Amino acid sequence: MKSSYILKLKLFSIFICCIVIFSFTKDETKNNLKLKINWVEEFTQDFSFRNEWSYPLGIYRNQFDQLSCDGFCPREIDVMKDSVSRIIEDSLSVFYKLIDTTHINNSIKSDAWVYEYAGIDNIVFKKQKDGSILGFTSCNAETHSSLHIQIRHDSITSWISYNSIKPVDIEKFPLKSGDITFDKKLFNNGIIKAEFNFKFINTLNTKKEIFWNGLIYSTYK
């Protein structure tokens, strides 16, 4: 029961981070630094990380080696677990019809220094009403900083939103410098295959550099 409680606390912190991500989906980038996109026909870098995967938020393997769900899950599954959170044998088939155990392929591989960052595997891109494309990384129990990339025509801008576990205001780190390269053919077919190297303005400590570099393989709709 203690491990279940800890898991719920972690999932709650992720939920708060998700709220922050969506609170920055408006175009707040009019005065931000913009970088011209470099276009290539083919990359030589290794993008094999996209073949690795993880389960959706809240899905985990319990102590009984069952795929279970905690946190953001259908309420109906609560009665399908016993007092030690084991899924009752007779309920297994119904349980797995109610929860999503899809394999989510990794879409970003990166190296970064930013506050409360311990790595992340996924970035999501969505078309906006104004025609731009907005991408943002998810959070997890250890990572509370989210990378945002906004694509408009042949240029991008980027920023990091930082929602600390400490009782302080949400911080936004604007783009300072960098470069980004896209696969032109794939982009025209709804796939973002890119390499990026970004530096951000540290509004909390000017002596400490914030950077985020990596590879992306994702889709946009």
Domain spans of the chain? 27-53+106-219, 56-98
* Beta-carbon count within 10 A of 71 CB: 17
Identify the band that residue 58 occupies on the pLDDT scale cut at 50, 70 and 90: confident
What ranges make up the beta strands (E) of 74-209?
A: 104-105, 108-113, 123-127, 133-137, 145-152, 155-162, 171-183, 191-200
Q: Which of 14, 16, 9, 2 is nearest to 170 (CA)?
A: 16
Separate counts of helices (H) and strands (E) for the chain: 3, 14
What pLDDT, on the 0 to 100 scale, is given for residue 18? 52
Instruction: Read off the pLDDT of residues 75-112 as tens digits, 9 standing for 90 and up.
Output: 999 999 999 999 999 999 999 999 999 999 999 999 99
213's enclosing H/E stretch is strand 210-219
Residue 169 or 6, more confident: 169
Model pTM? 0.83
